[in-house]
Amino acid sequence: MSRHRNVKNLDIEDGLDDYDYSAEEEEDDLSPEDRAMMARGVAEVQAALGVEAGKVTVAQIEESLWYYYYDVEKTVNYLIKKYINPPAPKKKPPPPQQPNGEFATSVFAPGMPISPQPRQSLASLFWDMPWGNIPKHRETTFIPPHVPRGGLLGGSGAAPKMSKLQALAAARKKKAEEKKAGEKKAEERAAADVEQAQSKLKELSVNETTTTSSRGTASMAGAFGRRLKTAQSAAQGRVPLAANEPGLTGSSIPSLSTSATPSTLSLSEDNRPIDKAPQSSFAQTLFASPLEKDSSRKRKLPEYFALYPDLPQSVIDAFSKPSPDDIVLQAQAKAGKKNAAPAQPKKKSTATALSTKQASAAQVTDKVSELKISDAVLPKSRNLDVPAEYTKSQQKKSASFVVVGHVDSGKSTMMGRLLLDLKIVNERAVDKLRKEAEIIGKGSFALAWVMDSREDERAHGVTIDIAMNRFETERMSFLILDAPGHRDYIPNMIAGASQADFAILVIDAKEGNFEAGLRGQTYEHIILLRSMGVFRLIVAINKLDMVNWSRERFEEIKDQITGFFKRLGFQLDKIAFVPVSALKGDNIVNRSTDPAASWYAGRTLIQELEASDPKPRELRKPLRMIISEVYSTMQSPVTILGRLEQGCVQVGEKLLLLPANQMAYVKAINTNGGEPVDWAVAGQHAEIALDGIIQEYVSIGDVVCDPNHPVKVMKEFTMKALAWDMFWPMPVDVHRGRLHASGKVTKLVAVLDRATGAVTKKFPQAIRKGQVARIKVEVQDTVPLEAGQRVVLRRGGETVAAGLLE
């Protein structure tokens, strides 16, 4: 039986079933919001269809909804066209007299007899040919006449030298050949051309989604193969082989028939160079009368193609369905896509596009353009149960800590020392820094420069912004947040403290410096830590080498600070004291070797760090993250960095950014300073590459949250505040993490009892230091805030109040 007949009998539905099955499978993976959208969409569509709704199944609605991406209107239109008022079946031949007999009413199209028109002289082909200066595409190419080698066609059987493959092909071919003698030679030629052009175009086309269109163009190119010099000459060499391969032969011709569908008419029109060149007067004189011109223009193409008009019906039928090759290609594409986990809409639409081949031209064009839009699709969310994954993964315990203290108490130096002793930073790098530091006369800053990387920080010798650095011990991994101590940069310190599980408070033990600090930023920082709920503290009493490791000094400072903590309501058992020397590296990682320091037998700084427990992680709550950095990376021009306060995030997920109120998708996640991961959980610092958003919408201090559980964006809020200083209705700075807004206290609602929370006085004139009050605060620009969040109010460089949102 002829191969073509096989093709004819091949059930297209078989091929398509595969698609539908996989599509169905995908549907099970619908994310909850998609499912919600789907349910809503189905209801709307059913409502819109009214009584007709019975004619379509829910599955059909869902499929078309998915395809149209929940566009109810389009879906309804489509459903009506497809199922309720189906248009006359497509197989019905288009009217024989097409308006201007375009060439695309191809000879191969079933049931489309080429109207027997009076033959025109070939002269009409040249009617518009300019004299001389012939355009490249009109130049003829001389091809040596093709004589099939090996006597494949002639059936002489006396092939001189045949390779095995050739022999096999020849044998096969011979069989097939006998049954369809006559038409095939020309057909093979055309087929080879088409195949060649098609494969070329396929190389060009980016992915499978474009094949619908490329097939159209490819076949057109094929149809013009004889005229397109490149296609032709390229095809030439391989004609015999291609012709021998029945599959290939098969594949090319249906393509031609596809091109016959009205959908490609519009596409192919551009490819028609012949009609466009102006008619030269000389050519006119030579070949055609002006009157004839129009009609010849219309007719000549069909005529040109109607070289083999008498194909048997079987051949025509065979090519009206996808060839086996097409089916294989689609299957491959499908498999490839499965690996790459592409977005659903694309795959589904391909399937739908196939199953609705009968759709009108306009619809097809629509689909094609839609498909193109979805080309650059993100990795799809894998809908992982991240908290479960997290428990499974059994990662090393990770914690972040902030280093605070008065300016010049040695915070950055201490962290530099820590990294050096842990061999995170090598000695050579520090030596290099030391040299640079000595040049500007700040030799002792070398260690601090490990953290203070900014030019202005080095020039002025102070930390300005939070520096982040990571290190790991055997048991835990840590993130250092080195905060600035200078009072001008307290907003940055607040940003750092808000991301920390616990804190190292560095105190300068030198005579006078400690006292100055206690009046200055040491006090301020302790208050802020308390306000932001950081209760675990390691107090590193620094520069003890300068006071000769005096135990008395250490105890004196410890007593004073302890009293202070007690008054502020810290739990004393969570506070540890370590005598250290950051510059020399005593009791940081290694125990001090100084005999004067031998009195201290407690834990070193690093041991204390390892003994600290991170705050409990709220993995199951909806995602919240404050953006602390925005920058562009190779992965995305909009990459954000921040700590996940609660919840979790995974690749492919949709996020909501506030207050811009913009959606974005997660393209990639990096944690631990550049390690790509599939998900991140509360407590981790994640670098998230976003897609679908422009940088203008993203700024530092914005909140990233779960679109299903968004944070409220508000202008006014009520909070329960603890007064650190006396205040009354006045303008204030509102801080929450990196969020820094201008606002004002508008109303003092009541003074509350510190212990019970009962109202002791309504509408006071002012709130005294130490009082707890319920107040109303208004911000200048709206900010995303939530009940239970900790907010700090400052004014004129001092912390006025801090408390919880209600």
Partner 1 sequence: MRFANKRQTVSGLEAEEGVKLLIDDPEDLWHAHNLINEGDLVDAPTLRTSRVEAPSTHNVVYKTEYLNLTVKVKSVFYDPAVSELKVSGFIARDAEGTVLGQHHTLTIKWENRKDRQLYFTLWKEDGWDTVAREALSEALNPDRPESMIAIVMQEGLSNICLVTGHRTILRQRVNTGRARKADELMNKKVRNKVQSFYEQTLLALRASADLSMPRTLILASPGFVAHSFREYLAQAAIKQEDKVLQKMANEAIIVHTSTGQVHNLNEVLMSPEVEKTVRNCKFAAASSIMDRFYEMMRKEDGRAWYGFNTVSKAVSEGAVGRGGGILLMNIALFRAVDLPTRKKYVALVDKVKADGGEVRLLSNEHESGQRLDALGGVAAILTYPMFELDLEENEEEKTKAHDGKPNTEEWEESAEGTTII
Nearer to partner 1, 407 or 597 (CB): 407
In Å, what is the CA distance from 592 to each residue of 282, 546, 549, 588? 104, 14, 10, 8
User: If you write DSSP's letter for every residue of 677-732 in order, what string do you get?
Assistant: ESEEETT-EEEEEEES--GGG--TT-EEE-TTSPPEEEEEEEEEEEESS-B-S-EE
Nearer to partner 1, 204 or 759 (CB): 759
CB of 731: closest distance to partner 1 in angstroms? 4
Q: Tokens in use for 203? A: 């190389």
**Hey, what amino acid is at 163?**
S
CA 776, chain centre distance (Å): 40
Nearer to partner 1, 208 or 465 (CB): 465
CB of 717: closest distance to partner 1 in angstroms? 14
Residues in a beta bridge with 644:
625
Nearer to partner 1, 146 or 460 (CB): 460
User: If you write DSSP's letter for every residue of 235-257 in order, what string do you get?
Assistant: HHTTHHHHHH-HHHHHHHHHHHH
Q: What are the residues binding partner 1 (CB under 8 A)? A: 453-456, 460, 464-468, 486-489, 491, 629-631, 699-700, 726, 728-731, 733, 740, 742, 744-747, 762-766, 768, 778, 780-781, 794, 796-798
Nearer to partner 1, 618 or 629 (CB): 629
- CA-nearest of 729, 737, 739 to 658 is 739
- CA-nearest of 292, 312, 288, 472 to 396 is 472
Nearer to partner 1, 173 or 458 (CB): 458
CB of 630: closest distance to partner 1 in angstroms? 7
> Could you tell me how many helices (H) and strands (E) the chain has, helices first?
28, 22
Nearer to partner 1, 173 or 738 (CB): 738
Beta carbons within 8 Å of 294's beta carbon, 6+ residues apart: none
- In three-state secondary structure terms, 292 is helix
Q: Tokens in use for 365? A: 């064009």
Give the integer Cα–Cα distance in Å for 720 and 804: 5
Nearer to partner 1, 465 or 586 (CB): 465
CB of 714: closest distance to partner 1 in angstroms? 13
Give the integer Cα–Cα distance in Å for 639 and 656: 14
Task: Report the greatest alpha carbon distance in the chain.
Answer: 119
Alpha helices in 290-425 (DSSP H): 290-305, 313-318, 324-340, 344-355, 361-373, 386-393, 411-421
Give the integer Cα–Cα distance in Å for 633 and 689: 8
CB of 419: closest distance to partner 1 in angstroms? 13
Residues in a beta bridge with 779:
743
CB of 537: closest distance to partner 1 in angstroms? 24
CB of 471: closest distance to partner 1 in angstroms? 16
CB of 463: closest distance to partner 1 in angstroms? 9
Nearer to partner 1, 282 or 728 (CB): 728
Give the integer Cα–Cα distance in Å for 233 and 200: 13
CB of 800: closest distance to partner 1 in angstroms? 12
Nearer to partner 1, 142 or 763 (CB): 763
Nearer to partner 1, 149 or 768 (CB): 768
β-strand pairing of 648-650 with 638-646: unpaired
Nearer to partner 1, 201 or 627 (CB): 627
Give the integer Cα–Cα distance in Å for 761 and 270: 82
CB of 393: closest distance to partner 1 in angstroms? 29
Nearer to partner 1, 205 or 699 (CB): 699
Geometric angle at alpha carbon 511, from 505 and 517, rounded to 5°:
40
- In three-state secondary structure terms, 640 is strand
Q: Which helix (H) or strand (E) holds 373?
A: helix 361-373
CB of 485: closest distance to partner 1 in angstroms? 13
CB of 741: closest distance to partner 1 in angstroms? 8
CB of 730: closest distance to partner 1 in angstroms? 5
Q: Which helix (H) or strand (E) holds 577?
A: strand 575-579
Alpha helices in 394-543 (DSSP H): 411-421, 427-439, 448-451, 455-460, 490-497, 513-519, 521-531
CB of 551: closest distance to partner 1 in angstroms? 38
Q: Tokens in use for 165? A: 């493959």
Nearer to partner 1, 316 or 466 (CB): 466
CA 357, chain centre distance (Å): 32
